[in-house]
Amino acid sequence: MSAPTPENGSTPENRPTPESRPSPGNRPARVPWRAVFGGSVGNLVEWYDWFVYASFATYFASAFFPKGNATAQLLNTAGIFAVGFFMRPVGGWLLGRFADRRGRKAALTLTVTLMSGSALLIAVAPTYSSVGYFGAVVLLVARLMQGLSVGGEYAASSTYLTEATPPGRRGFASSFQYVSMTAGQLLGLGLQIVLQRTMSEDALKSYGWRIPFVVGALSAAVIFYLRRRLLETEAFAEQTGAQDAPAAERGSVRELLRHRREAVLVIALTMGGTLAYYTYTTYLTKYLSNTAGLPKSTASLVSFFALLVFALLQPLAGALSDRIGRRPLLMAFGIAGTVGTVPLMTALGHASGFWSAFALMLTGLVIVTGYTSINAVVKAELFPTHVRALGVALPYAISNALFGGTAEYVALWFKKGGAESGFFWYVAACAAVSLLVYIRMRETRDSALSRREHTPEPAAARV
């Protein structure tokens, strides 16, 4: 195969760097750290803003809704949190299509711009005491913007990290998506812990909760600059001149329907993983406080350190998948999630202190690692380039809206109804459904994503 030229879609501006290309001979492929950093650091800010809403909800719930039962106020804010998830399929469709037509780099830049605007909107939203429910409306609009942004961010970062990395290192490189997601949550939790120790409870509920949203809006400006300097992936640059993928078909729903089996597969394999992930991350801090009776500050510390270890595990599990395949890790999560969720969540509800809660939460996160470390690369490896971003984004966002986004709301609904353990069985059942999919799906590790990978180099070129 001849080298890409400006005529077939690759230009000096979007041509991949040498480090992102397959290494000759038997030398190990190099990880394109510049691409990994550029794709991940923006993802960090995106998910910082997304999770800050959940972690600070206990402080601003009373600011947007009338005084009353604390659980009822949390239900209202959890409902708005869930609404953001239902906007994610729209974001997955619009921005996934945008990424398949205009490029991964352009989509990454657009998503972080939207997230910055939504964080700023929450930071200046008026309270119920000053304008009634209008403040809640502003909060809702901001969450809809965040849902739109995150729906596209997942697709853009998944496809970018996967396409920018040579075969044999994709599992490792794409695992940094969840490293950055978790780092964003850790940043939010870390700021919460600092504010809890430097501000009074009343001050946090009055105005302190706005601080993390201001930080998120300002940080996005730096990420916008970094992402504009990224290089486009070789796989996307190739397909801009491909005759088998006309421009009108790139990122179209019609083209996605030609790959409906893969789309349904993404929905099903995401179902149990996303529900378990949000159960052990965004909801668990509230669960430790409301059910186990731990102080909010202790619950935050438990989450912070457990998530820190969880983030460190992602690259290790991703690298393992490059050696043994994706399916073994997915099946390990499915089995452990099905069998272990009920006893683990029951024990967490009776945790008596930091160390017992930490050990139990970390156990849950180790189980979830089988899904989180590789789910992005698995989905990207299922689709061809011209519909890859949309194929990753839309089915994933639909499953996230139905299961991940409603996790906290469903958990609180079971709790309010006096049947909290019903939620544990619900999570286990969803993990069981995904397990059946993992058992039947094909291995994706050796999928070729570009013409260079489809066409081996001549033997002389490898010497």
Residue of 121, 92, 320 lying closest to 220 (CA atoms): 121
Element holding 121 (H helix, E strand): helix 104-123
Whether residue 22 lies inside any domain: the answer is no
Cα–Cα separations (whole angstroms), residue 275 to 152, 290, 334, 371: 19, 20, 12, 11
Whether residue 454 lies inside any domain: the answer is no
Whether residue 449 lies inside any domain: the answer is no
The DSSP string of 197-257 is HHS-HHHHHHTGGGHHHHHHHHHHHHHHHHHHTPPPPHHHHHHTT-TTS-GGGTT-HHHHH
Q: Is-contact 143 53, C-beta < 8 A?
A: yes
Distance between CA 168 and CA 32 in Å, rounded? 12
CA angle 156, 177, 104 (to 5 degrees): 15
Whether residue 451 lies inside any domain: the answer is no
- Look up the CATH number of the domain holding residue 104: 1.20.1250.20
Reading the block at residue 303, the tokens are: 């989450």
Find where tokens 């990395």 sit. 165
Q: What local confidence, expressed as pLDDT, does residue 155 receive?
A: 81
Q: Is-contact 174 158, C-beta < 8 A?
A: yes
Q: What local confidence, expressed as pLDDT, does residue 447 receive?
A: 81
Q: Is-contact 123 88, C-beta < 8 A?
A: no
Whether residue 8 lies inside any domain: the answer is no
Distance between CA 419 and CA 310 in Å, rounded? 29
Please, where are the H alpha helices in 325-406? Answer: 327-348, 354-372, 375-380, 388-399
Find where tokens 């800050």 sit. 52
Q: What is the pLDDT along the chain (463 residues), one digit of tens a residue?
A: 443 433 333 333 334 444 444 444 445 567 777 778 877 777 788 778 877 877 787 787 777 776 665 666 666 676 776 677 778 888 888 988 888 888 888 888 888 888 888 888 888 888 777 877 787 888 888 888 888 888 888 888 888 888 888 888 899 998 998 898 888 888 887 888 888 889 988 888 888 889 999 998 888 878 877 787 787 888 787 766 554 556 667 777 888 888 889 999 999 999 999 999 999 987 888 899 888 888 888 888 898 899 999 999 999 999 999 999 999 999 999 999 999 999 999 999 999 889 999 999 999 999 999 999 999 899 999 998 888 989 988 898 889 888 987 888 899 889 888 888 999 999 999 999 999 999 999 998 888 776 666 555 443 333 3
Whether residue 7 lies inside any domain: the answer is no
Distance between CA 155 and CA 175 in Å, rounded? 14
Reading the block at residue 259, the tokens are: 């790959």
Range of the domain at 61: 33-240+259-443
What's the total number of domains in the chain?
Answer: 1
Q: Which amino acid is at 318?
A: G
Whether residue 223 lies inside any domain: the answer is yes
Sign of CA dihedral 231, 235, 240, 241: positive
Whether residue 357 lies inside any domain: the answer is yes
pTM higher than 0.75, yes or no?
Answer: yes
Please, where are the H alpha helices in 28-69? Answer: 33-55, 57-64
